[in-house]
Amino acid sequence: MRPLITAIGLLLAWEALTWATGVPVYILPPPSRVAVVLVERFDLLMEQAAWTAAEMILGLALGLVLGAVLAVVFAASAGWRRWALPLVIVSQAIPVIAIAPLLVLWLGYGMASKVAMAALVIFFPVVSTLYDGLRRTDQGWLDLAQTMDACPRAVLLQIRLPAALPAFASGARIAAAVAPIGAVIGEWVGASAGLGYLMTQSLARGQTPLAFAALFLLCLLGLALYHATDRAARRLVPWQSPQGE
């Protein structure tokens, strides 16, 4: 119920904004206009949304796995960290237009290059937060494990990793929120389908309401994915805050 009220409230705010600022339809159409297009072009939009949703979900899955693996590797090995951490940071600074030709060269124009591009955007918050979490393990637990003759691998997997799950959840939330833009960026690598593609195309042809209908769906997908991830993340960390009495 409440999310519905919020949604309606936000749409009304948007409608009011377009009225109040007098912003032209071809720059920011009011939701009423967008709604009309949404109904008229429903089939087209759904088709493209399915495409983008697939990219988002694959990208997020790949990003989460890749991010988690990298964070664990960084936490386990100073050697790897020294070499690969700068690469990971730098990977965030590279605009899609610089890397797209490379991806196409290596992965072709199919889904693979798009998912790879999306994952490149999505994986970073996961690496970063999880690695931070892995660095902040309670010293008491580490001492205890040391007296128990635990090998570093067991400490990492059985103590540091579970202890860092709240941090992972934090990273996964960010990853879910950027998944839509990851998918759209992936579509830049050379797509002929997807909401991002539809958006670019309709913006180029002045069909702003259609572009915003696509954007609206993209946002819905984003919210849905975010909430799904949020729920999963909460389930991941059922215990109280680390110091809980």
Residue type, 109: Y
Nearer to other proteins, 88 or 171 (CB): 171
Interactions with a second copy, residue window 121-150 (CB under 8 A)? 124-125, 128-129, 132-133, 136-141
- Using CA atoms, how far residue 139 sits from 78, 152, 155, 157, in Å, is 19, 14, 12, 16
Residue with structure tokens 């949304």?
A: 49
Task: Return the residue of 24, 80, 136, 234 that touches other proteins, per CB under 8 A.
Answer: 24
Nearer to a second copy, 9 or 152 (CB): 9
Q: Is residue 124 exposed (0-12), middle (13-18) or buried (19+ Cβ within 10 Å)? A: buried
With contacts defined by CB under 8 A, name the span among 39-47, 79-87, 107-115, 152-160 that binds a second copy.
79-87
Q: Is residue 212 exposed (0-12), middle (13-18) or buried (19+ Cβ within 10 Å)? A: buried
Select from other proteins, a second copy, none the partner in contact with residue 151, using the beta carbon and a kind-dependent cut-off of 5 to 8 Å. other proteins
Select from a second copy, other proteins, none the partner in contact with residue 86, using the beta carbon and a kind-dependent cut-off of 5 to 8 Å. a second copy
The Cβ of residue 4 has, within 10 Å, a number of other Cβ atoms equal to 8
| Distance in angstroms (rounded) separating the CA atoms of residues 134 and 74 | 9
Nearer to other proteins, 66 or 71 (CB): 71
Nearer to other proteins, 143 or 220 (CB): 143
Interactions with other proteins, residue window 109-148 (CB under 8 A)? 109, 138, 140-141, 143-148
Question: Is residue 87 within the footprint of other proteins (CB under 8 A)?
Answer: no
Question: Is residue 20 within the footprint of other proteins (CB under 8 A)?
Answer: no
Helix, strand or coil, per DSSP, at residue 137: coil
